[in-house]
Structure 1
Amino acid sequence: MSTQLWLENITKEYGDGDTTVKVLKNVSLEVKAGEFVAVVGPSGAGKSTFLSIAGALLSPTRGKIVIGNQDISTLSDKELNAIRLQRIGFVFQSANLIPYLTVRDQLLLIAELAGNHNKEAEKRADELLLRLGLAHRADHYPESLSGGERQRVAIARAWMNNPEIILADEPTASLDSERGRDVVEMLADEVKLRQKAAVMVTHDKRMLDLVDRVVYIEDGMLSERPEQVPHPVH
């Protein structure tokens, strides 16, 4: 399998001199196509900072980020915006849907932002909604959806431009255990079916049997810690 996402020797610092705080310390991670990796660790360990850097939302102080064969570490803001729109799909703990757009239009907005709003995009939006059990909700607004439905819309939106990489930050935090598991199963299925590379930050250890690998962040450092996993990981 080819490497889709590679973070090499990532350090993130805030402040200057004696007041410098290192949030991440020389962190490296390689994620291959078709691989679903969970990142776990205590609050304040650097998990969200790590995911933000992986998704080109935040620049590292030092280190290199490679997506596919492209080093994105030195790209301009405009170029990074294109990378985020076209090559990375984000799923957050809050669905962050736009209240005045219908479910279908939430997806089509992503295509429009990427300059791809055409008949093919409309077909893809309809196919995604059907696949995620939301076809009957296509013309509804977010306020009429359940929490689980809103999160499924967020997933469909993340997949709209067929990104190579999926990044999920606590995607089950606002859901009960059953709906949370449904969401992670959808992510896992997409990773295998479409050969995506996915990284999920989570505090929910009940979901870890659905991923391929677990890495642990503590005090800004990353390590493989299989003993932290309460379920068999396959």
Structure 2
Amino acid sequence: MQPVISVHQLNHYFGEGELRKQALFDINLDIYPGEIVIMTGPSGSGKTTLLTLMGGLRSAQEGNLKILGQEMNGASKKAMRQVRQQIGYIFQAHNLLTFLTAKQNVRMSLELHERFLDQNMDEIATDILKTVGLGNRVDYYTDNLSGGQKQRVAIARALVSHPKIVLADEPTAALDKKSGRDVVEMMQKLAKEQGCTILLVTHDNRILDIADRIVYMEDGRLAANSDAVALVE
């Protein structure tokens, strides 16, 4: 089975000249179709930097980074955009547009894909909001939703286009225990139904058990035995 994300000897730097600082060191990681992988480790260890590289939100500098068969080091803007269209993103801060309703926020994701333009996007957006338990909130503006409800909208937006990969950065950080658990179980259920791969960055030890595999990052390096880390009891 070919990995959907394949990282080999990846290094990354910030700044120029004397201010140049290395953020990632010799990262090696393969993630396979349908896997749920959790990346954990201290703040400032490089987790979000690696996640943004895997999502095509930054350009790879050194080493090899292959996403869905596309080498990202040296990739054209067009190639990077085509990769991003196959990825769903879930961020800690929701990144929802407050002047749009829940349905409109989700619909925006569909509008980025030509294959949905001749379909009933309002109906598709409404259906997935029902799936995440927000059938009675589709026409609510996001300011009128709770934190857990906003994160469910963000999950619906990320998954509505049936991406091949979902990248989630601290999706439970702003949520209480029950809301956080509900959110990751919703992600797990929808992703398994759609057959997509999830890479989730978190400090939340309460959700580690949803993972097929846990990888640990510290000081810009993945732990040598990350691929073999057992699930925490």
Q: TM-score, normalised by structure 2?
A: 0.91
Q: Paired residue for 1:217?
A: 217
Q: Paired residue for 1:111?
A: 110
Gaps of 5+ in 2: none
Q: Paired residue for 1:139?
A: 139
SS of the counterpart of 2:136? Answer: helix
State how far apart, in whole Å, the 1-side matches of 2:193 and 2:162 are.
Answer: 12
Deviates more, 1:4-13 or 1:137-146: 4-13
State how far apart, in whole Å, the 1-side matches of 2:112 and 2:165 are.
Answer: 18
Within a 5 Å distance, the mapping from 1:1-234 to structure 2 comes to 1-16=1-16, 18-84=18-84, 86-115=85-114, 116-223=116-223, 224-225=225-226, 231-232=232-233
State how far apart, in whole Å, the 2-side matches of 1:72 and 1:18 are.
Answer: 27
State how far apart, in whole Å, the 2-side matches of 1:94 and 1:208 are.
Answer: 21
State how far apart, in whole Å, the 2-side matches of 1:138 and 1:22 are.
Answer: 44
SS of the counterpart of 1:3? Answer: coil
SS of the counterpart of 1:137? Answer: coil
SS of the counterpart of 2:96? Answer: coil
Q: Which runs of 4+ in 1 moved over 6 A?
A: 226-230
Q: Is the Cα contact below 8 Å between 2:88 and 2:163 reproduced in 1?
A: yes
Deviation at 1:43, TM superposition (A): 1.1
SS of the counterpart of 2:100? Answer: coil
State how far apart, in whole Å, the 1-side matches of 2:76 and 2:121 are.
Answer: 27
State how far apart, in whole Å, the 2-side matches of 1:227 and 1:75 are.
Answer: 31
Q: Is the Cα contact below 8 Å between 1:4 and 1:68 reproduced in 2?
A: yes
State how far apart, in whole Å, the 2-side matches of 1:102 and 1:217 are.
Answer: 37
Structure 1 residues 48 and 143, CA gap change in structure 2 (3 angstroms) = same
Cα RMSD of the aligned pairs, angstroms, is: 2.0
Deviation at 1:210, TM superposition (A): 0.9
State how far apart, in whole Å, the 2-side matches of 1:109 and 1:16 are.
Answer: 37
Deviation at 1:227, TM superposition (A): 9.8
- In the alignment, residue 195 of structure 1 is paired with which amino acid? G
Deviates more, 1:39-48 or 1:15-24: 15-24
Q: Is the Cα contact below 8 Å between 2:10 and 2:26 reproduced in 1?
A: yes
State how far apart, in whole Å, the 2-side matches of 1:108 and 1:226 are.
Answer: 37
Gaps of 5+ in 1: none
Q: Is the Cα contact below 8 Å between 1:5 and 1:197 reproduced in 2?
A: no
State how far apart, in whole Å, the 1-side matches of 2:44 and 2:89 are.
Answer: 21
Q: Is the Cα contact below 8 Å between 2:10 and 2:62 reproduced in 1?
A: yes
SS of the counterpart of 1:51? Answer: helix
- Give the count of matched residue pairs: 231
Deviation at 1:16, TM superposition (A): 4.2
Identity among equivalent positions (%) equals 39
State how far apart, in whole Å, the 2-side matches of 1:3 and 1:82 are.
Answer: 18
State how far apart, in whole Å, the 1-side matches of 2:29 and 2:180 are.
Answer: 26
Deviations 1:31-77 (A, max 9, x none): 11110111111111101101010101112221222222222333222
SS of the counterpart of 2:29? Answer: strand
